[in-house]
Amino acid sequence: MNHAARFRIRCFVGLFVGALAVLAHTTTRAEVILPAIFGDHMVMQRGADLRFHGRAKPGERVTVRTSWGAFATGNAQADGTFDLTVPTTETTGPHEITVEASNTITLRDVWLGDVWVCSGQSNMEWPMRQSAEGADEIPAARHPGIRLFRVAHATSFEPEDDCRGSWQECSPASVQHFSAVAYFFGREVHVAAGVPIGLVQTTWGGTRAEAWTSLHTLRDEPDFSRYVDGYEKAQADRAALERAQAQWPTTIETWRQQVAAADPGLGSDEANAPFAQPMHDDSAWKAIDLPTTYRDFGKESYDGIIWFRTTVTVPPGSEEREWVLELGAIDDHDITWIDGRRVGATYDHRTERVYAIGKLSPGNHTLAVRTHDTGGVGGFTGPAEGMMLRTVDQATRIPIAKEWRYHVGPAQSELPPQPQAPRASHQNVGSMLFHAMIHPLLKTRIRGAIWYQGESNTRQGYLYRKLFPAMIRDWREAWGQGDFPFYFVQIAPFGYADSIASHELREAQRLTLAAVPNTGMAVTLDIGNPRDIHPRKKQPVGERLARWARADVYGEHDLVVSGPLYRSLDVEDAHENSTHFRAIRLHFDHSGSGLATRDGASPSHFVIAGRDRQFHPASARIEEHTVLVWSDQVPAPVAVRYAWSNAAEPNLMNREGLPASSFRTDAWPAATRSR
């Protein structure tokens, strides 16, 4: 039995939108058990003594032995915990490690290399299969020297010692659901370092930085009191929420039965749903290609049930192979059948539908999907390329996005209202993610961290100037490894609401780079999408993060690591076509071999102001490593701003092709200062 599968000690587990089973563990067992971060195929940090920790019978003797000859032994504490330190070797691997007590656990295919924690919200979480590069890069992602570990979503009121997850060798099958940014970063540093790389993905879309920060740090800063108050309120409501949580399975099942009774396509038995049967006549249903939302066929404000059916053909010679169905994310609920056999159901609009089908005979098979939207857009929200019937080994992939038929079922107004799931905790409450998704990793020696987050904090960009550096210091203190490398992504352009000033969040990130040692920032102003908060180009993001690591960690000291970053200004006399005027000359760090523009045109998105603080569009020209900025409307300039808006896509870069960060030269009051 795999040791990681047995290690679950969980006093409290959040139930979220009909979340599924809770793993339980009995603490009376005398067996030694290890947390999930220890497993076959793992990478452990080279150049640092390894910490093996877990649980055993109180007082029990625990011994760790390694194939390189090192060992450690000691007794479990009175609470059953043990923590042993094992010296490392210069040999990368593969190694075996045994942990012995009343039972023996053997870890195989273990490597010594560099471990990087990859964290943040949805743009770090964004999987390879949904990236712009996924179709080309996934088939080639066969890297035995890269190992992947994904921490499952979890929240907790108290610091946890374990998480859910398992190590996998990097392959087309394992990488497709892994963070694209993390993979491209890992591939670059793997090549640069020539050693095994372990990538630990601990991410959650839509989350805020305070949730990833410890209570100790939040309580130390008066400006963070709102975050502490949110935690304490959730803590006070905990008992009532746990009671509601216990009742939730009955509540939601009663509602589902009521909805089923109102849907003739479902009937009284999901296993025999009329609309899911292969022989059902759907000739009167309308044709459509997927993915599609309810808006795509005249259902702008429709909430309710819509059925979809299609036929997929399995080729000969696949009788003994196992199949998987992928549908992407569906808003909100789905029940899915193949040939009338129910294969899965999901009640969360964020979750990608991946259903194990089992074996399929060659020939035609009927897929039926019943979608139910209770509010919002509704329908299939993933990309077309993510919809497929495939074999488990990825050898055969059958696209299924085309040629579906649909039938509009009962509207939500005809159905009983959906009850709201009680949330025992929330992923944006202060410290909840630190407790559940960072704390379990703190005894794992790491090389550094990469971070892509900020979109959910854009309304408080000014406060992020304190929060983000505090979070970095918090992690470094918690890991106890000094100022380890921490590289982050500056958020991309997006058309946020007018009440949001994302450029001030970007400014907070730029100031963090200047103020916090051993950090690096990847600018993305040139690869964003103002219409999509999840820009699909992830390879340049990972590669730009890796530039910092390649230079600072892996010895490529001559590598240009960043695009131009504003340093200082001079006000001077200038001339253009025999006209003399006052202008501002801007100086930059990381100008590389010189400044340039992406399109060969004059530098764009500059504005300039005098002492009246009224900004006007400015002319600009590059002069080697500087930019001269002026306007005939501002005869006495004092300040310049660049790309100072939510969705700006400017063109300034260095000749190495790395874009300049947005910036302002003034320190006038920020729009988000009072938030």
Residue 5: per-residue pLDDT = 36
Q: For residue 539, which of 205, 204, 117, 175 has the smallest C-alpha distance?
A: 175
Q: Kindly state whether residue 574 falls inside one of the protein's structural domains.
A: yes
How do 486-489 and 519-522 pair as beta strands? parallel
Residue 9: per-residue pLDDT = 31
pTM score? 0.78
Predicted confidence (pLDDT) per residue in 551-570, tens digit: 999 999 999 999 999 999 99
Q: Kindly state whether residue 593 falls inside one of the protein's structural domains.
A: yes
Q: For residue 49, which of 83, 94, 95, 81 has the smallest C-alpha distance?
A: 83
Q: Which segments of 497-559 does DSSP mark as H helices, in order?
A: 502-515, 539-552
Q: For residue 500, which of 447, 464, 458, 549 has the smallest C-alpha distance?
A: 458
Q: Give bridge partners of residue 345 from the DSSP assignment.
A: 335
Q: Give the separation between CA 606 and CA 590, rounded to whole angstroms.
A: 19
Sequence letter at residue 563: G
Q: Kindly state whether residue 439 falls inside one of the protein's structural domains.
A: no
Per the prediction, the chain carries an average pLDDT of 90
Q: Select the more confidently predicted residue: 426 or 211.
A: 211
Predicted confidence (pLDDT) per residue in 213-227, tens digit: 999 999 999 999 999
Residue 300: per-residue pLDDT = 61
Residue 272: per-residue pLDDT = 85
Helices (H) and strands (E) counted in the chain, each on its own, are: 12, 34
Q: Give the separation between CA 482 and CA 416, rounded to whole angstroms.
A: 56
pLDDT band at residue 201 using 50, 70 and 90 as cut-offs: very high
pLDDT band at residue 6 using 50, 70 and 90 as cut-offs: very low
Q: Residue 22 pLDDT > 80, yes or no? A: no
Q: Residue 322 pLDDT > 80, yes or no? A: yes
- 192 HSE (CA, 13 A, CB side): 21
Predicted confidence (pLDDT) per residue in 221-259, tens digit: 999 999 999 999 998 888 888 888 888 888 888 887 888
Domain end (from 392, 414, 436) = 414
How do 595-597 and 579-589 pair as beta strands? unpaired
Residue 246: per-residue pLDDT = 86
Work out the percent of the chain whose per-residue pLDDT is above 90.
73
Q: Kindly state whether residue 127 falls inside one of the protein's structural domains.
A: no
C-beta separation of 590 from 560 below 8 A: yes
Q: Give the separation between CA 517 and CA 520, rounded to whole angstroms.
A: 9
Q: Residue 349 pLDDT > 80, yes or no? A: no
Q: Kindly state whether residue 106 falls inside one of the protein's structural domains.
A: no
Mean pLDDT is highest, among 170-174, 380-384, 498-502, 657-661, for 657-661
Q: Kindly state whether residue 492 falls inside one of the protein's structural domains.
A: no
Q: Kindly state whether residue 360 falls inside one of the protein's structural domains.
A: yes
Q: Residue 16 pLDDT > 50, yes or no? A: no
Q: Kindly state whether residue 314 falls inside one of the protein's structural domains.
A: yes
Predicted confidence (pLDDT) per residue in 511-535, tens digit: 999 999 999 999 999 999 998 999 9
User: Domains in the chain: how many in total?
Assistant: 2
Q: Residue 27 pLDDT > 80, yes or no? A: no
Domain end (from 371, 391, 414) = 414
Range of the domain at 659: 565-664
Q: Select the more confidently predicted residue: 384 or 423.
A: 384
Q: Give the separation between CA 368 and CA 444, rounded to whole angstroms.
A: 45
Predicted confidence (pLDDT) per residue in 391-419, tens digit: 987 788 999 999 999 999 988 888 888 78
Q: What is the dihedral of CA 362, 366, 367, 368, to 10 degrees?
A: -160
Q: What is the mean pLDDT of residues 420-430?
A: 78
Residue 3: per-residue pLDDT = 35
Residue 13: per-residue pLDDT = 32
Q: What is the dihedral of CA 112, 117, 122, 128, to 10 degrees?
A: -20
| DSSP-assigned letters across all residues of 401-449 | -SSEEEEEEEEGGGSPPPPPPP-SS-TTSTTHHIIIIIGGGTTS--SEE
Q: What is the mean pLDDT of residues 129-134?
A: 90
Q: Residue 465 pLDDT > 60, yes or no? A: yes
User: What are the structure tokens assigned to 73, written together?
Assistant: 């032994």
User: What are the structure tokens assigned to 457, written together?
Assistant: 């904090």
Domain of residue 302, CATH code = 2.60.120.260
Q: Residue 28 pLDDT > 60, yes or no? A: no
Residue 297: per-residue pLDDT = 65
Domain end (from 414, 433, 453) = 414
Predicted confidence (pLDDT) per residue in 262-277, tens digit: 888 988 777 789 999 9
Q: Residue 84 pLDDT > 50, yes or no? A: yes
